[in-house]
Amino acid sequence: MTMDLISRRGILGAFAATSVAAAPVMANAFGFLRGAGDMRRVRMYSGRTGESLDTVYWVDGKYIREALNEINIFMRDWRTGEVIGIDPRTIDVAAASARLLQTNEPYMMLSGYRSPRTNAMLRRNSSGVAKNSLHMTGKAADLRMKSRSVGQMYQAAVACRAGGVGRYSRSNFVHMDCGPVRSWGS
């Protein structure tokens, strides 16, 4: 199944409304990524490090180890330089969401892996940081896009039904993870 089976106008209309009702329309969104062809690609940049990432990380049903290593380094804890293996399912959620948004724009990554020390520091300075954050296990990313609203990104990620999705409108980002399916935020 490909995105061609759903009209561009239909998807854009659903995102324009940015209501919870849009999610059932795309209940099988994650299936679009799994059945959409022979490769998966992710595009991101980091305003914190100035680095960019544009890589095909999955081809013909298999993850590409070299590409995953590149993703691990890119999504490192920029405060400490520590690198951990990022769960590829986290990248799948981001890639599937971008595909639903029908954009080639790279995500701006605000946070990927966080060391326990970094997470503790952030918790001291903000009430919105979980003590056992999935960022500390390489299973989460905080992302934004210039051309898409937080509501649009949130709806696309929720439609994937592949993990947790948090909407942080005041801070202009969406949290995506590969943990249990759940959603929160305003």
Across residues 155-179, what is the average pLDDT? 95
Structural domain including 94 reads 3-185
pLDDT value of residue 38: 78
Q: What is the pLDDT of residues 90-138, one digit of tens each?
A: 999 999 999 999 999 999 999 999 999 999 999 898 877 888 999 999 9
pLDDT value of residue 17: 37
Q: What is the pLDDT of residues 37-77, one digit of tens each?
A: 578 999 999 989 999 999 999 998 899 999 999 999 999 99
Residue-wise DSSP of 158-182? HHH-SSEEEEETTTTEEEEESSSSE
Q: How many domains does the chain have?
A: 1
- Going from the C-alpha of 99 to that of each of 31, 132, 135, 153, the distances in angstroms are 11, 30, 23, 11
Q: What is the CATH number of the domain that holds 117?
A: 3.30.1380.10
Across residues 172-176, what is the average pLDDT? 97
The set of long-range contacts for 57-66, using a CB threshold of 8 Å and a minimum separation of 24, is 57/88, 57/91, 58/88, 58/92, 63/88
In the block, residue with structure tokens 């990432």: 53
Across residues 8-34, what is the average pLDDT? 40
53 neighbors 71 (Cβ within 8 angstroms):
yes
Q: How many CA atoms lie within 13 A of 105 on its CB side?
A: 16
Please give the mean pLDDT across all residues of the chain. Answer: 84
147 neighbors 102 (Cβ within 8 angstroms):
no
Chain-centroid distance, C-alpha 104? 14
Alpha helices in the chain (DSSP H): 8-17, 22-25, 29-34, 65-74, 88-100, 116-125, 150-160
pLDDT value of residue 148: 97
**Comparing 84 with 9, which gets the higher pLDDT?**
84
